[in-house]
Amino acid sequence: MHAVDGVAWDVISALAEGKSLPARHPPAAVAEVLQEVERLRAEGSLFSPDRGRELYVPPDFAPKSLCLMVAQECNLRCTYCFAGEGTYGGGLMPEEVAFKAVD
C-alpha cells in the first residue's frame, strides 16, 4: 500500500489504464512520479497482486459454550440481581435470532 498525492494518482491511473499521461501537471512533477514508479516497479512493490486475502487464514473457531439471554423478563427472584442497573426492556429474543446464534 502506498500513499500518493494528486499528481502521482493521476500518473499511476493513466499508466494502469493505458492512457496518455496527464498534461495538467507540471512536467517536472510528472517526471519525478515516473522515476519513482519505475523504482517501485523494479523492486516489485507496485502493480503487484493483492496477496492480503491469500495470506490471511481465519482461525478455527470452536466455541465451548453459548449463553443466550432469550428473555428480559424479571420476576424479582434472583439472589444476584444485576437488573438494578439501567432499564429492562421486557422483550423476548426472536426465534430467528436464537437459531442463527446457534448455527
Angle at 39 between CA 35 and CA 41, to 5 degrees: 115
Whether this model's pTM surpasses 0.85: no
- Give the pLDDT score at 47: 67
pLDDT averaged over the chain?
78
- Give the pLDDT score at 85: 55
- Give the pLDDT score at 16: 82
Q: How many residues does the chain have?
A: 103
Closest among 2, 7, 4 to 27, alpha carbons compared: 7
Give whole-number Cα distances, 33 to 16, 36, 43, in Å. 14, 5, 15
Reduced to 3 states (helix: H, G, I; strand: E, B; else coil), residue 54 is helix
Helices (H), 18-74: 27-42, 52-55
Q: Locate the domains of the chain by residue range.
A: 6-54
- Quickly state the pLDDT bin for 35 (edges 50, 70, 90): very high
pLDDT in tens, 59-69: 787 778 888 87
